[in-house]
Chain A
Amino acid sequence: MLHALSVWLGRTPLSTLLQNIDWVIPSVQSVHIVAVSIVIGSVLMLDLKAFGLVGRSLSLAHYAARFGPWIWGAIGVLTLTGVTLVIAEPDRSIENAIFQLKMVLLLCLIAELSAMTVPLRANSVFWEARGRRWLLFALVILTLVTVVGIVFAGRWIAYSQ
């Protein structure tokens, strides 16, 4: 089924158009990496704040409000550029196990970041409760491992066809 989807997508006029313009794929990939940088920089700041290593006079809720919109906006750009790259080169992605792993990791990151930041909207000191600190630290470690996994998987897609 995935193979049929890949073949069909590769024959669409949009895919043919994107494949025939040399600068499209490198340019879209560059925008994709800039968006990855914004996600990584923002997640790093959130995680460092959760560990108390930055912004000691500010709350984690303040950091979530500051970086949340940038993270979700950048993930939106990642999705748009990612879909463009899949349409342009479906055989490089859809059936590729590393690409599929990257997508799973992206969903994990979205879930982890939501779990970390959404409770702060209703209760800005949600993570201050003693029993919840360990869960927060676990989420921080998970987000760090997941973003590293996403970057590594992204690079390895090119080497696993």
Chain B
Amino acid sequence: MSVMDLLSGLQSLPFPTLVREDGSLFPWIESVHVLAITVVVGTILIVDFRLIGLASRGRKITEMIEEITPYTWSAFFIAVCTGAVLFSSNAVKYAGNPPFLIKMGLLVLAGLNAGVFHFLVGRDSEQWAHLASPPWKTRIAGGLSVALWVSVIGFGRWIGFTMH
């Protein structure tokens, strides 16, 4: 059984079929997906601008991360769930859509960037978390995160123009 057979089977299930064929279910789920993504990106940018040294320069970085990330993760969870439902409604077509595949790749890169920051760059954060202008490795991680998440939004929007 090929991947395409699996995807075809997935989109033939009752709920994905309902989402695809019902006139208003897809836009409602898509609206929640967009709202969740804007919360994810909006809260991540607040932390990123602090990492770069652009804003909140007087606040301790680790304190900000502790405060904001629970909201980011909650919104990310909703974005993944709604995104999975949207994908399942037309899995074969999404799997062959270049902007969708690029968006998924960018999400993996954003996750890797966050992981590298958390486990490598952030190890000695007590030494620089209070600095108005953090060290270059922290600013690079913040800059990369901004670029990746803005690109996620860009390619996400492009999906809608290339699925017809």
Contact = CB atoms under 8 A, between A and B. Distances in A.
Interface of A: 25-27, 29-30, 33-34, 36-42, 44-45, 48, 54-55, 58, 66, 70, 148, 151-152, 154-156, 158-159
Nearest to A151: B35
B45 interface: yes
Interface in B140-159: 150, 153-154, 157-158
B161 A42 contact: no
Contacts of B68: 45, 54
A155 B55 contact: no
B96 interface: no
Contacts of B30: 155
28 contacts: A25-B161, A26-B158, A26-B160, A30-B153, A30-B157, A33-B34, A33-B38, A34-B41, A34-B150, A36-B38, A37-B37, A37-B38, A40-B35, A40-B39, A41-B38, A44-B39, A44-B42, A45-B68, A54-B67, A54-B68, A55-B67, A58-B59, A151-B34, A151-B35, A155-B30, A155-B34, A158-B27, A158-B160
Interface residues on B, range: 20 to 34
Nearest to B155: A30
Interface in B3-50: 24, 27, 30-31, 34-35, 37-39, 41-46
B97 interface: no
Contacts, number: 78
B77 interface: no
B55 A70 contact: yes
Contacts of B31: 151-152, 155-156
Contact of B39 (A41, A66, A152, A154): A41
